Structure formats: structure tokens, C-alpha cells
Structure 1
Amino acid sequence: MTAEAPPAPAVSYGRLVPVTVHFDDLDALGLLHNARYPLLAERAWTELWQEHGVRFEGDWATAGDACNAVKELRVSYEAPVTKPGAYAVHLWLERLGNTGLTYGFRFCSTDGTLTYARGERVLVRLDAATLRPTPWSETFRSGGRALMRPAH
């Protein structure tokens, strides 16, 4: 008798990062509060980029690619999250420019098959001294290219 392999996650590009919804993430109606979706997506991105050596450790002058700012954020809610527990955030890049990028995300079930919310976020890489746009490093760009969504 052979054991069946677990089903493959329902993502063919990007990464599926596990996240946890806690009881205190729910609002008075028992739904995941709308502000928590982008927060959980941000935490998932932070975890993913730390795997590539991109991290903020308290010093913007040495933060490199972690020195960035949000230019735009859009979220659409598709199904309510009604209980705490294990979920996932599916992350990918839509666009990787010289100084900016657009990433997509889906807040979803752990296997990626059920979508609760989806969104896009535009980031701009900043020079820590001037707070003006500056190019992403080649190391960052290399990691980013592996997360690109295939052209439709």
C-alpha cells in the first residue's frame, strides 16, 4: 500500500507563505478585520524577503532594499474569514522596475485553493539619506525575478 502524496498547492507562480489568524484579529462581527489583510500580507513579504537577506534591523542607512515606501495599496475582499487558524498568503511580483515594483497577493486557504481577498501594492525603493527613489540592488532584482507572474 502506497501513501498518497499531499495535493500540490494551487499556485503555479510566486510563493505561498503560511500565516496565522488569531482571535484578536477578528472584529466585533467575528470576521477578520479588513485592516488585517494587508498587515498579514506585509508580514508574509517580510518573511519571504528575509530568506533573501533583505531585512530592516533598525538602521535605515544600512537597510538597503528594505528602505522602501508604499505608494499605492488596493485590496478587494471576496469571502469572509470567520475563524482563527492557519491560512496562507500567495505572493508574486506583477512588475519589477528600476526603482519601484508592484506585487500581488491573495489571502487564501493553506493550500491556496480558496481566496478570501486579493490585492496589489506598489513599493518604491528609497535612498535612506535623501528619501528619493533609488534603484533596487541586483541581488534584490534576482530574487524578485523568481517571483514574477508569467505574462498572461
Structure 2
Amino acid sequence: MTAEAPIAPAVAHGRLIPVTVHFDDLDALGLLHNARYPLMVERAWTELWSEHGVRFDGDWAAAGDACNAVRELRIGYEAPVTSPGTYAVHLWLERLGTTGLTYGFRFCSADGTRTYARGSRVLVRLDATTMRPAPWSDAFRAAGRELLRPAG
């Protein structure tokens, strides 16, 4: 395939997190396997929040904001990734609620100018004991506000 990925505007909000596509991420046709996109988005999301001290170290009771579950995942594929190399995941928050959030993402070129896939994901913060929705911490909410996409 020789389709060009659509050109995206410069990253004006959120964060661009570098990711690496390896040869074994490609399918039999030489394309990035469709199941790898969400995996790389998850890894980028984990890296971003780890920078803010949000991580899972094996103890759900101590995990705090890292104790969350995916409620919904949507992804659309726009252009094929046809070779290994350095790419990026552009992450931002669409909505930051009391116990949930929606984040948007693009799998894109390393500089953020070409989009290969885009989507959104809804997360719910959980209480580790009850597995019921629980509020995000104040520190998480403060960091999250920095990632909110401007209205309009």
C-alpha cells in the first residue's frame, strides 16, 4: 500500500509520547498489526502517568489512581504503518470527571504530523477493595487538567 497518512495539525494540546514499532509488530502483509495500536497507546499512557507518580507496583490497595478499568475503547485506522521505526502516540483528555475520564489519542509519526490511527478510551477509577467507582485524587486531577483539550 502506498496510501499517504492524512496530515495533522501541530500538537497544540496534550502530549506526544515516543513509541517504537519493531519488525515483529508487523503482520504477514508487513503492516502494523491492528491489535498492536491499542497496546502501544496503553504503553504511552502508562509512561505519561508514571511521570506523575501514578503507577502499579503490584499492590492494588496502594495503587491509588492506577487502579482503574477500561469501560470503552474506540479506534479507527486511517493509514497503514508499513515499517519498523520510531513513531509517537499523541494523548490528551477530552473529559475529566469525578470517577471517570475520556482520553483521545492518535498513533502518529514521531513529529506528530501524520496520523495513522485515532481513537478514544473511557477509564473509571476504582476502589481496590470494593471494585466500585472512586474519585480521582486531587494530584491526578491537577495533572489531568494540564492534558485537557481546549474547548472548540
Which TM class, normalised by the smaller chain length?
over 0.9
Q: Partner residue of 1:91?
A: 91
Corresponding residue number in structure 1 for 2:70: 70
- Structure 1 runs not aligned, ≥5 long: 1-8
| 3-state secondary structure, aligned to 1:49 | helix
Give the structure 2 partner of residue 100 of structure 1. 100
Q: For this pair of structures, how many residues does the alignment match?
A: 144
CA–CA separation in structure 2 for the residues paired with 1:69 and 1:27: 28
RMSD: 0.8
What is the match of residue 54 of structure 1? Answer: 54
Q: Which residue in the other structure is 1:5 paired with?
A: none
Q: Could you list the runs of 4 or more consecutive aligned residues of structure 1 that deviate by over 3 angstroms after TM superposition?
A: none
Instruction: Name the structure 2 match of 1:37.
Output: 37
1:133, distance to aligned residue in structure 2 (A): 0.2
SS of alignment partner, residue 80 of structure 2? coil
Tell me the distance in 2 between the aligned counterparts of 1:36 and 1:149.
25
CA displacement, residues 59-108 of structure 1 (integer Å, 9 cap, x when unaligned): 00000000000000000000000000000000000000000000000000
SS for the counterpart of 1:117 is strand
Which secondary structure does the structure 2 equivalent of 1:63 belong to?
Answer: helix
Q: What amino acid does structure 1 have at the position aligned with 2:86?
A: A
- The runs of 5 or more residues in structure 2 that have no matched partner are 1-8
Secondary structure of the residue aligned to 1:146 is helix
Partner of 2:121: 121
1: CA distance, partners of 2:68 / 2:37: 20
SS class of match (2:127): coil
What TM-score results when the alignment is normalised by the length of structure 1? 0.94
Question: How many angstroms apart in 1 are the aligned matches of 2:60 and 2:28?
Answer: 37
Q: Percent identity?
A: 81
Alpha-carbon distance between aligned partners in 1 of 2:88 and 2:95, rounded to the nearest angstrom: 22
How many Å separate the matches in 2 of 1:57 and 1:40?
20
Shift of 1:10: 1.9
